[in-house]
Chain A
Amino acid sequence: MNASGVSVVSRAHPAISPGRIVSTGLRWAFLAVGIGGAFLPFWWMLRTAVGPPQNVLGLSSSPLPSDVGFAAFPRAFEAAGLGPALATGIGVSIAITFLQLATAIPAAYALGCLRFRGRAVLFAVILATLLVPPQITAIPNYVTISAVGLADTRAGLVLPFMTNAAGIFLLRQYMITIPPALLEAARMDGLGTWRTLRAIVLPLSTPAIATVATFSFLLSFNEYLWPLLVARSPGIATPPLALANLVSASGGFPDFAQLSAAALIISLPTLFVFILAQRRLAAGITGTGVGAEG
């Protein structure tokens, strides 16, 4: 890895000057501030959720709660209907992730490893769809989904997200790095198009597939606009929607301990998936060369 290469080189030049020490100190201070900033909203969420009830009239800004208790969690769970919301959110996100992989893997394989006429044009069209803001498709999709009677259903929450052009792009970028000689050898051994995908391309692309799956799950779990339009009845509200509903239901005097508990609960699934996947994420992003090529 590059990282270890660099550290070896710098150890070979032990320039321990006062300037070096200052810059190392500054670097760590900067990192500490950055990490603190990244954690602050999560910390504030946690510390308010486990603290005593608070509202706009009585707020505390001490970094530690005056009294630790977990009463706000069952209250939030009940008030926001988080049980069904989490079930809907996780179910819908898994379905979307599965559909996106099922549509993206074969397409990326065809675009990255096979040669056919019109490939470049098709790839360009797929890339171009990345530029279409979700808001422009939201209105006609809402009309379509309502017309086929899927408004206010879980299927209606899933279907419009069945393909993910960014996922196709990421996977294709990864798959073009598979040596053509390997694919040629597979063909010589009598492996057909489909079995080459299953036996060679799929196992080699695991890091990129993991990356795409993680982002699919994160983005669909956190999606707000589409459920806001489609999930009209509270019974199929997704977690972000359930939280937003709780905010508007509590009017001018929300109990922040309860809201924070709800916010924390709906943050846990994505946090969990993210921590599980983060090691692979970096590998997946780096391997696709997106950082360099865009």
Chain B
Amino acid sequence: MNSVFQRPGWRVAALLLPAVVGLGVFTIAPALVSAFIAGTDKTLTGPSFRWVGTTNFRAALHDPDLAQAVRNTVAYCLITVVPAVVIGLGLALAADRVARGRSLIRLALFLPVSANLVAVAVVFSYIFSANPDALANTVAGWFGIAPVDWLGNTSTALPVVALVGGWRLASFVFVVYLAGLTTIPVSVREAADVDGIHGWARLRRITLPLLAPTTVFVAVFATILTLQTFETVAVLTQGGPLGSSTTIVYYIYKAGFTGSFRIGYASMLALLLLVAVVLLGVIGAAVGRWARARVAREVTL
């Protein structure tokens, strides 16, 4: 072991250098610069800017449009992440028990992960068109619902955008759970078979508790992903009508890169988003550690 420590330092440095430079220049430094710009009144077009301290932060606290974007994003996360986790888990459990045709089923259910969100958003834009003959309105008609202008209505625009996000997220959740299921020891499965534990009881008492670390990972990661929803909003609704489908990231884009190009203010909003994401990540890591420790205890028992 000691001899391994004696490797010349420059070799290790050479191996690490490209990655460290890349991350330093394009992730770490920009994050720090962003934190600085957040305290200025910089605009994208103006040549000069000055330090304004906490002005942007206080403006954010009293920005009704931001409050709406935050409410929209929280609602979006809830109606996307929860169903996606339930459906993705259900599909993974169902696919895991299939003996023949597994790889075909897997391929079909992986497809949404590879999908181009702009392309899918285009398709959803006419599936949910206001036209009474559009697919969504035709299906709604079967249930006696009058045609709806899905994307032009303040109460349906966000759910339609969330449907596109949830469609892809469920597929991602499926992928991760399928990998998670392979980590359940065969011995545990065999023991459950021998004891005749099947169906609901097996799911509740064996499979779900053993999958708990995967669930924590999926929930946190899926939430962080949905917090960053952008292109579906840009293509489907541009945040409208009346801001009803504006997510936080779309609002940051609008503040920084359109209108009066308020880069300083947009950076402050991005910084607040970073704080939220880091908090989520830290909480997720702690809960994940706890869940793993519990699983390790139960498997050895």
Question: Which of A's residues lie within 8 Å of B, judged by CB?
Answer: 1-3, 5-7, 9-10, 12-13, 15, 19, 23, 27-28, 30-31, 34-35, 37-39, 41-42, 44-45, 48, 54, 56-61, 99, 102-104, 106-107, 109-111, 114-116, 122, 125-126, 129, 131-137, 139-141, 143-144, 159-163, 165, 168, 184, 187, 192-194, 197, 218, 221-222, 224-225, 228-229, 239-240, 243-244, 247, 256, 259-260, 262-264, 266-267, 270-271, 273-275, 278-279, 281-282, 285-286, 289-294
Contacts and interface: CB of A to CB of B under 8 A. Distances in A.
Given A133-B277, A193-B7, A106 B133 contact: no
B179 A282 contact: yes
B16 A110 contact: yes
Contacts of B25: 144
A170 B42 CA distance: 38
Given A59-B131, A260-B123, A102 B37 contact: no
B26 A141 contact: yes
Interface in B190-239: 190, 193, 196, 198-199, 213-214, 216-217, 220-221, 224, 227-228, 230-231, 234-235
A290 B179 contact: yes
B107 A56 contact: no
B158 to A, nearest CB: 19
Contacts of A163: 18-19, 22-23, 26-27
Contacts of B179: 282, 285-286, 290-292
B29 A140 contact: yes
A9 B16 contact: no
A129 B27 contact: yes
Contact of A5 (B16, B112, B186): B186
Contacts of B33: 140, 143
A95 B178 CA distance: 31
Q: Which 10 A-B pairs have the closest CB atoms?
A: A163-B22, A291-B179, A294-B217, A107-B19, A263-B119, A140-B30, A291-B180, A274-B114, A137-B30, A106-B15
Contacts of B9: 116
Contacts of A273: 114
Interface in B117-136: 117-120, 122-127, 129-131, 133-135
Contact of B277 (A6, A131, A267): A131
Interface of B: 1, 3-5, 7, 9, 11-12, 14-16, 18-20, 22-23, 25-31, 33-34, 37, 87, 90-91, 94-99, 102-103, 105-120, 122-127, 129-131, 133-135, 137-138, 167, 171, 175-184, 186, 189-190, 193, 196, 198-199, 213-214, 216-217, 220-221, 224, 227-228, 230-231, 234-235, 249, 252-253, 256-257, 263, 266-267, 270-271, 273-274, 277-278, 281, 284-285, 288, 292
B37 A291 contact: no
B104 to A, nearest CB: 9
B107 A278 contact: yes
Contact of B96 (A3, A222, A239): A3
B227 A133 contact: yes
Contacts of A114: 4, 7, 12, 15
Main SS class of interface, A: helix
B105 A31 contact: yes
B269 to A, nearest CB: 9
Nearest to B8: A193
Contact of B281 (A9, A131, A256, A267): A131
Nearest to A285: B179
A35 B105 contact: yes
Nearest to B177: A291
Contact of B134 (A3, A45, A61, A270): A61
B31 A132 contact: yes
Given A126-B23, A259-B122, A294-B216, A270 B15 contact: no
Nearest to B171: A38
Residue in B175, B180, B214 with the greatest tally of chain A CB atoms within 10 Å: B180
B27 A133 contact: no
B180 to A, nearest CB: 4
Contacts of B113: 218, 274
B141 to A, nearest CB: 9
Contacts of A165: 23, 27
